């Protein structure tokens, strides 16, 4: 005789129910919208049953009485309709996103915080503010996650974190998920990152899969594209970019490096002018740039000539150090001498394309130009930034070192690229 419990287990499970919002805070994530040395932005999600979101925050300590000296701040919120693509009867559900920017923090200080509504609270999370002066730091860089995020990307996230648990931030080069409007996929992305998102600030740039085609009054897909409705509510970044590209085009100064996110899906010309100004005003030792579509494609049949024509002259003029990209679902790394389109083994800007998720393409025509390439390989990158050196490691999903180099910079600003694994041939 089959028990009632077994019959229930055999019923099809609606995956959308797994990620429906409740009054309990979920999808807690740290970002920066201001100075990383003195501020933090915290965002989380609940159901609309929660009227006022709150954060309690205080310097960390060894004792358990965390509430006693915590400062409480109210959050602002925005309601987001989760689109119809994965909801029964084509009826979207509504989620409430809460965001609070906490300022006037002390540099180089450990803090703990929790979020909630005064009754329903998250667990206490910890983070550390940046230094207010140049100091060494390290971060994790991921190419596209995109597909099978909960099942096959999560292991890459966890392997990277186990290698670098004290990372200053995690950088995502676009295509975090596959279908921009599917809350189910965003739920998988947040589940894969889990409490890491609430402990280490996330620096993300959008890819083409963060955009979706709009639906007209007839229910038909149009040619007009829009940014994922979840992007702006869940990612809070400085509003110092091109108007109309909020939370996708911005820069953050972190301990002697300027980190720039460019939106490679729209408004190339406007960003070109903005980028030239931002780099002209840059007084940091290092310049690190991320965007989604590669300046030099690694996958077969791809080329982003318009993007390259717009941005590469600016990179050359300002001697950008490291460019981190995604989109091509392969791995490729090349060095280009400033002002040239030829590889230079010893100097110039380093361009990297990487992929962290399971969707793979074949290497293309430009593979021969690359210093190191890979196909059918999930990877993550550990980047260590010092006063006179950037040390870069690309590792496979199993933690094996796959590519490594250093960018050395002298007092006069001249750079030298040093291979750390010898002269390895392109290819897996």
What confidence tens digit (pLDDT) does each residue in 100-151 have?
A: 999 999 999 999 999 999 999 999 999 999 999 999 999 999 999 999 999 9
> What backbone torsions phi and psi does residue 234 show, to the nearest 5 degrees?
-105, -10
Specify the pLDDT at position 84.
47
Q: Is the pLDDT of residue 340 over 70?
A: no
pLDDT confidence bin for 16, thresholds 50/70/90: low
pLDDT confidence bin for 342, thresholds 50/70/90: low
Question: How far is 131 from 76, CA to CA, in rounded Å?
Answer: 28
Per CATH, is 15-128 categorized as 2.60.40.380? yes
Question: How far is 283 from 267, CA to CA, in rounded Å?
Answer: 26
Specify the pLDDT at position 82.
72
In 10 A of CB 26, how many CB atoms?
17
Question: How far is 81 from 84, CA to CA, in rounded Å?
Answer: 9
CA dihedral 32→34→37→39, nearest 10 degrees, is: -80
pTM of the model: 0.94
Specify the pLDDT at position 213.
86
Q: Is the pLDDT of residue 26 over 60?
A: yes
Q: Is the pLDDT of residue 4 over 60?
A: no
Helix, strand, coil percentages, rounded to 5, for the chain: 20, 35, 45
Specify the pLDDT at position 32.
98
CATH 2.60.40.380 residue spans of the chain: 15-128
pLDDT confidence bin for 423, thresholds 50/70/90: low
CATH 3.60.21.10 residue spans of the chain: 137-419
Question: How far is 406 from 404, CA to CA, in rounded Å?
Answer: 7
Between strands 257-261 and 250-254, the pairing is: antiparallel
Q: Is the pLDDT of residue 296 over 50?
A: yes
Q: Is the pLDDT of residue 83 over 90?
A: no
The highest-level CATH class for domain 137-419 is alpha beta
Token pair in block for residue 220:
């038909």
Q: Report the pLDDT averaged over residues 358-381.
A: 93
Token pair in block for residue 330:
């392969």
CB 43 within 8 A of CB 32: no
């Amino acid at each position: 005789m089959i028990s009632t419990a077994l019959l229930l287990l055999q019923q099809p499970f609606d995956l959308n129910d797994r990620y429906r919002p409740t009054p309990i805070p979920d999808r807690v994530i740290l970002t920066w919208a201001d100075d990383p040395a003195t501020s933090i932005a915290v965002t989380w999600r609940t159901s609309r049953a929660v009227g006022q979101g709150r954060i309690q925050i205080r310097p960390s300590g060894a004792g358990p009485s965390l509430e006693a000296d915590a400062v409480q701040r109210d959050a602002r919120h925005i309601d987001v309709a989760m689109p119809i693509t994965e909801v029964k009867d084509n009826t979207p559900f509504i989620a409430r996103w809460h965001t609070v920017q906490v300022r006037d923090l002390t540099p180089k200080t450990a803090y703990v915080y929790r979020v909630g509504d005064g009754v329903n609270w998250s667990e206490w999370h910890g983070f550390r503010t940046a230094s207010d002066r140049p100091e060494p730091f390290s971060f994790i860089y991921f190419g596209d996650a995109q597909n099978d995020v909960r099942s096959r990307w999560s292991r890459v996230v966890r392997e990277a974190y186990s290698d670098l648990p004290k990372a200053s931030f995690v950088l995502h080069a676009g295509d975090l998920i596959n279908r921009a409007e599917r809350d189910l996929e965003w739920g998988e992305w947040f589940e894969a990152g889990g409490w890491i998102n609430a402990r280490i600030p996330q620096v993300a740039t959008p890819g083409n899969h963060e955009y979706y085609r709009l639906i007209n009054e007839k229910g038909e897909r149009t040619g007009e594209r829009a940014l994922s409705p979840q992007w702006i509510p869940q990612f809070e970044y400085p509003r110092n970019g091109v108007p109309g590209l909020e939370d996708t085009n911005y820069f953050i100064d972190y301990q002697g490096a300027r980190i720039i996110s460019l939106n490679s899906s729209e408004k190339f010309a406007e960003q070109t002018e903005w980028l030239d100004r931002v780099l002209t005003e840059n007084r940091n030792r290092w310049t690190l740039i991320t965007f989604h579509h590669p300046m030099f494609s690694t996958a077969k049949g791809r080329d982003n000539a318009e993007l390259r024509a717009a941005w590469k002259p600016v990179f050359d003029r300002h001697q950008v150090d490291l460019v981190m990209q995604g989109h091509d679902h392969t791995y490729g790394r090349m060095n280009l001498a400033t002002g040239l389109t030829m590889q230079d083994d010893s100097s110039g800007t380093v361009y990297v394309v990487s992929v962290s998720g399971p969707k793979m393409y074949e290497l293309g025509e430009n593979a021969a130009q690359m210093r190191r390439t890979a196909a059918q390989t999930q990877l993550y990158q550990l980047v260590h930034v010092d006063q006179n050196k950037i040390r870069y490691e690309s590792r496979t999903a199993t933690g094996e070192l796959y590519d490594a180099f250093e960018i050395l910079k002298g007092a006069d600003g001249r750079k030298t690229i040093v291979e750390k694994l010898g002269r390895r041939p392109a290819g897996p």
